[in-house]
Amino acid sequence: MDAITIDIGNSTISIAVFTGQKHNRTETIPIEQADTRKLSDILRAFREICGPQPLNAKTVPVVVSSVNSTILELIERSVGDVLDQNILLIGREFPLEMKVAVENPDTIGSDRLLTAFAAYQVVESAVVVADFGTATTIDCVNDNGIFLGGVILPGLNLSARSLSEYTAALPCVTPKLPTDIFGVNTETAIQNGIYFGAIGAFREIVERYAEQLGQWPQIVATGGFSKLILRHCDFIDSHVPDLCLDGLYLAYCRYRDSLKAAKPL
């Protein structure tokens, strides 16, 4: 099934097109640069990639996850104007069929659940998903596919900004791959601290999860900074940059399959 998936995060909008059940292409727009023209161009291009649909259907499902209500309104308008159709928002038009063992499930970000869902569909055993984005989230799913919860930490950029904003003299730096463990100046000292601090926290959290699970889980990394983290993180099993978009597609396909199975013969 062809589909367009859109993940609206805190800092970026990621849009993917799936054709023939494969992730075909992804475009990412920083939130501050998002406008109707850019979104329209991507939507038109992705609809053309999908090509003719079965039974000459005009529409291709546009499946959305959002943690930003203002940008969600922009996406809804753009899809309506360009493709003459409505979006399918997870949690509103269709559910994410995943068991959770947390307080107030409705307050969990859909992006966290989708990445956990996507990882478990592939691994089918205990798995930890670390999403290195605006915030860093490290979530755990057990062998039975139950989302147990996780932790939320400031992302690398947020850590850098907070040091600058809440101190008198420290500069705001860009997180980058360290070249030496010793920071030879203030800038590299901050960069090294943020980078290796994130990896150290990641390792500690996974070890504590493993103690509770009674086994070492599979580890999956995703998000904008995941490729950077991967360079010095030897316990990551899989790196999937666009895991949330994959999760959206899988969740919608499962929902469609459940509807077909429920129809009387």
C-alpha gyration radius of the chain = 20
**Which residues, listed in sequence order, are joined to residue 15 by a DSSP beta bridge?**
6, 27
CA dist 246 and 92 (Å) reads 19
Phi, psi (5° rounding) for residue 166? -115, 20
Q: In this structure, what token pair is assigned to residue 104?
A: 């107030």
Which residue among the candidates 2, 7, 111, 131 is catalytic per the annotation?
Answer: 111
234 catalytic? Reply is no
CA dist 129 and 220 (Å) reads 5
CB atoms within 10 A of CB 21: 11
Q: Do the beta carbons of residue 109 and residue 67 sit within 8 Å?
A: yes
Residue type present at position 245: L
Contacts of 265 (CB under 8 A, 6+ apart): none
> What amino acid positions are annotated as catalytic residues?
111
